[in-house]
């Protein structure tokens, strides 16, 4: 494989903006669970050699009523304890909640340099995004990306407009609020592990959000599966989200869900092998078209196969030396491939 420009620079273009988020976003809001989540993240990072899931410390569901300020202070203390390899985010209260402004001022103001993003729930329009952006700027945390939670039919209708905002990094789907906002028109099994993939209104919402994200180079993040003890059902749901609905990231609400999500979103060993050979051949050809196993490959397919390798890295899969070096910023990609395209 020839040395040269990084495949991200050559192939991804606008898609590079959200290409590098871990595939799992783990939520916790109770102090003991937040501490355990941060410890678990460090253990996974040591095991896989990369940070394979985000930890989002939750104020919206974690803070007791009347105790929002104390909970925000706790979140700051925990975020500041995290080491430099950690990816820690915070879900604050919605923009129309009395605690929103103080959440941002306290958390982003004190710990903004240690956070990877802020999650804003119940976003209804771009106006909500703009309000959150201004609050971050007032807290001297204007560098932080925003991730937003789409939870209503009106928000789904505006998904493309919301995804287009440059501060927005990812859109997540809030399944349970979405179903309950229909006044009983969607049955309760629309929130279940099966119904959420079959009810037409839920399916339409998921596809709209995924399409909006892909149109603007953002990351679509799939909703939780509440049946957290049923790992088989969780794995099936995660695979459907990834392979049928176009999602590249998924929420976890229990530590036991993390490995299952990583496995579901990871490419197979065969996919990694093929992607490695094609990217090596492409780099040797200076990204000109090549023939590989009797099929034409060019920039469009190179982009796909490079994203397979990105996802392999994000899920902690083992990568060959000629690819792994691209993920070590200390070393330039100078290893030569011995593979030749057929």
Q: What is the 3 state secondary structure string of the chain?
A: CCCCCCHHHHHHHHHHHHCCCCCEEEEECCHHHHHHHHHHHHHHHHHHCCCCEEEEEECCCCCCCCCHHHHHHHHHHHHHHCCCCCCEEEECCCCCCCCHHHHHHHHHHHHHHHEEEEEECCCCCHHHHHHHHHHHHHCCCCCCCEEEEECCHHHHHCHHHHHHCCCEEEEEECHHHHHHCCCCCCCHHHHCCCHHHCCHHHHHHHHHHHHHHHHCCCEEEECCCCCCCCHHHHHHHHHHHHHCCCCCEEEECCHHHHHHHHHHHCCCHHHHHHHHHHHHHHHHCCCCCEEECCEEECHHHHHHHHHHHHHHHHCCCCCCHHHHHHHCCCCCCCCCCCCCCC
Helix axes 299-314, 269-284, angle to 10 degrees: 130
Show the CA angle centred on residue 291, arms to residues 287 and 297, nearest 5°.
55
Cα dist from 262 to 23, 32, 160, 250, whole Å: 7, 24, 27, 9
User: Which of 212, 341, 316 shows the shortest CA–CA distance to 265?
Assistant: 316
* pTM to 2 decimal places: 0.88
Q: Is residue 251 within 8 Å of 224, Cβ to Cβ?
A: yes
pLDDT in tens, 137-166: 999 999 999 999 999 999 999 999 999 999
Show the CA angle centred on residue 307, arms to residues 83 and 168, nearest 5°.
60
Q: Is residue 120 within 8 Å of 132, Cβ to Cβ?
A: yes
For the 24-265 domain, the top CATH level (class) is: alpha beta
Q: Is residue 117 within 8 Å of 147, Cβ to Cβ?
A: yes
Find tokens 């590098």 and name the residue.
20
Cα dihedral 28/30/35/39 (nearest 10): -30
Gap between the Cα atoms of 219 and 302, Å rounded = 20
Gap between the Cα atoms of 124 and 324, Å rounded = 41
Q: Is residue 178 within 8 Å of 152, Cβ to Cβ?
A: yes
Residue-level pLDDT, tens digit, the chain, 342 residues: 555 678 888 887 645 545 579 999 999 999 999 999 999 999 999 999 889 999 999 999 999 999 999 999 999 999 999 887 899 999 999 999 999 999 999 999 999 999 999 999 999 999 999 999 999 999 999 999 999 999 999 999 999 999 999 999 999 999 999 999 999 999 999 999 999 999 999 999 999 999 999 999 999 999 988 887 889 999 999 999 999 999 999 999 999 999 999 999 999 999 999 999 999 999 899 999 999 999 999 999 999 999 999 899 889 898 988 888 888 754 433 333 333 333
Q: List the chain domain ranges.
A: 24-265, 268-325
Gap between the Cα atoms of 268 and 266, Å rounded = 6
Q: How many CB atoms lie within 10 A of CB 332?
A: 12
pLDDT in tens, 224-233: 888 878 899 9
């Amino acid at each position: 494989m020839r040395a040269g420009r990084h495949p991200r620079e050559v192939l991804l273009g606008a898609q590079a903006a959200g290409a590098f988020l871990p595939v799992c976003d783990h939520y916790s809001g109770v102090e003991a669970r937040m501490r355990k989540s941060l410890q678990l993240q460090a253990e996974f990072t040591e095991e896989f050699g990369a940070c394979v899931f985000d930890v989002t410390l939750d104020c919206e569901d974690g803070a007791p009523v009347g105790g929002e300020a104390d909970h925000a202070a706790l979140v700051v203390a925990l975020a500041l304890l995290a080491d430099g390899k950690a990816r820690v985010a915070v879900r604050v209260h919605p923009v129309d909640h009395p605690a929103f402004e103080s959440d941002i001022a306290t958390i982003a103001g004190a710990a903004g340099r240690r956070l990877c993003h802020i999650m804003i729930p119940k976003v209804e329009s771009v106006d909500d995004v703009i309000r959150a952006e201004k609050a971050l700027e007032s807290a001297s945390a204007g560098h932080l990306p925003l991730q937003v939670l789409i939870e209503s039919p009106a928000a789904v209708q505006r998904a493309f407009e919301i995804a287009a905002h440059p501060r927005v990094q990812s859109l997540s789907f809030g399944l349970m609020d979405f179903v309950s906002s229909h006044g009983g028109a969607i049955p309760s099994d629309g929130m279940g592990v099966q119904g959420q993939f079959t009810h037409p209104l839920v399916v339409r919402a998921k596809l709209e959000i995924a399409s909006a994200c892909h149109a603007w180079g953002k990351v679509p993040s799939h909703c939780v599966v509440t049946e957290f003890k049923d790992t088989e059902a969780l794995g099936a749901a995660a695979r459907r989200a990834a392979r049928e609905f176009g999602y590249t990231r998924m929420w976890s609400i229990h530590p036991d869900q993390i490995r299952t999500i990583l496995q579901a979103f990871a490419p197979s060993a065969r996919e990694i092998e093929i992607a490695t050979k094609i990217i090596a051949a492409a780099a040797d050809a200076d990204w000109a078209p090549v023939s590989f196993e009797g099929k034409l490959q060019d920039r469009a397919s190179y982009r796909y196969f490079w994203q397979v390798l990105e996802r392999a890295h994000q899920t902690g899969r083992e990568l060959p030396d000629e690819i792994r070096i691209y993920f070590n910023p200390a070393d330039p990609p100078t290893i030569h491939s011995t593979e030749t395209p057929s």
